[in-house]
Amino acid sequence: MDREDKLIERVRRKLPSRSRGVRIGIGDDAAVVGAPSGSVVAAVDLLLEGRHFRRDWSSAYDIGVKAAARSLADIAAMGAVNTALLVALAAPGTLPASWPVDLADGLAAEASRAGAGIVGGDTARADSVLLSVTALGDLAGRQPVLRSGASPGDVIAVAGPLGRSAAGLALLTAGVTADATSAALAGLVAAHLRPSPPYQAGPEAAMLGATAMIDVSDGLVADLGHIAAASGVALDIDSSSLVIGGPLAEAAAMLRDKSDSYGTNRGFSTHSIALEWVLTGGEDHSLVAMFPASAVLPSQWHVIGHVRAGAGVTVDGAPHAGPGGWQHFR
């Protein structure tokens, strides 16, 4: 067994191959994963160095969590439970041997949180780090919750936080690191580096009768735009219903006052900076779903707006003037 085989074996031992329904894991030509519903839900997402993460900000563990979360959230947004991940990794040969092991730890931790095994993979050398993660899931006999089912009269509700990843990115961009700040701000930085989507809320929304659902990867306004277009409806967000937590306000106040090159916030109120993160910040991978007005929603689902006849997304009845979507690293 040469050095590379030993490394692959070390990585393999980190991976949760024996979870829900995994019949054949890593090590053959392909994996075999249970699909008790008679269909499988599948999505693939790329995570690229320089675009979705920076190695000076994100540890290998962080990158593993983020790569897994990005794909796992797509499965939850269909109303399905996660069953398995397949991970393709291209990386420079100059990385320390601990790097792929730590990456596997992060992938494994987030996959386990979602109940998924890691059942397949491929690796290759490249100049920068690139991950392609395919997530598989099962609908447990339910119909998938598509983007196209929203109807006028439905309510818009969100499970999970909004704007925290964007605030964390703004802090990192301004040179604020998790080590050198308050616990509240460190939590925002962590939210950017290691998103924590509410996976179980996806199947829960399906059981509650959700008519449409998406995960917030591009930003609330942008992702609701996909729902509005697919469903042929207008969506209006009630900004007074959006939760702008203490940490977001603290980060907005700090960045507004910071007299460094990160000066784009000057002239805006703390509230408007934080609201912008909530409306347009991506990568929280929270779930936003439409429900019939009669649905009785448990506490993790928070109503933030209404579906009307028409087209497009508005905030308090008016088009949103902001950039309108998450551009990752601009």
- The least CB distance from residue 183 to a second copy, in Å, is 33
Please report how close the Cβ of residue 111 comes to a second copy at its closest, in angstroms.
Answer: 14
Phi, psi of 279, deg, nearest 5: -80, -35
- Which C-beta is closer to a second copy: that of 45 or that of 102? 45
Smallest separation (angstroms) from a second copy to the CB of 154: 18
**Quick one: 24 or 234, whose CB is closer to a second copy?**
24
Any bridge partners for residue 93, and if so which? none
Write down the least CB distance from residue 65 to a second copy, Å: 18
The nearest distance, CB 243 to a second copy, in angstroms, is: 24
* Residues 152, 290 contacting (CB under 8 angstroms): no
Nearer to a second copy by Cβ, of 39 and 272: the residue is 39
The single-letter code of the amino acid at 285 is H
Write the DSSP string, 159-205.
Answer: ES-SSHHHHHHHHHHTT--GGGS-HHHHHHHHHHHS----TTHHHHH
- Nearest to a second copy of 30, 318 (CB atom): 30
Residue matched to tokens 């905030």: 315
User: Alpha-carbon torsion 180, 183, 186, 188, what sign?
Assistant: negative
Cβ proximity to a second copy: between 24 and 249 the closer is: 24
Residue with smaller CB distance to a second copy, 14 or 285: 285
Nearest distance, CB of residue 73 and a second copy, angstroms: 8
Report CA 324 to chain centroid distance, whole Å.
18
Q: Please, are residues 101 and 62 in contact by the beta-carbon 8 Å criterion?
A: no
As given in the structure block, the two tokens for residue 154 are: 């439905």
Q: Locate tokens 């990843």: which residue?
A: 165
178 vs 216, which CB is nearer to a second copy?
Answer: 216
Q: Angle between the 98-113 and 3-14 helix axes, to the nearest 10 degrees?
A: 20
The answer to whether the beta carbons of residues 273 and 154 sit under 8 Å apart is: no
Q: Amino acid identity, residue 81?
A: V
Q: Where does this chain bind a second copy (CB under 8 A)?
A: 21, 23-24, 27-46, 48, 51, 74-75, 77-78, 80, 84, 86-88, 90, 119-128, 130, 132, 134-137, 139, 144, 146-148, 213-215, 230
How near is the Cβ of 133 to a second copy at its closest, in Å? 9
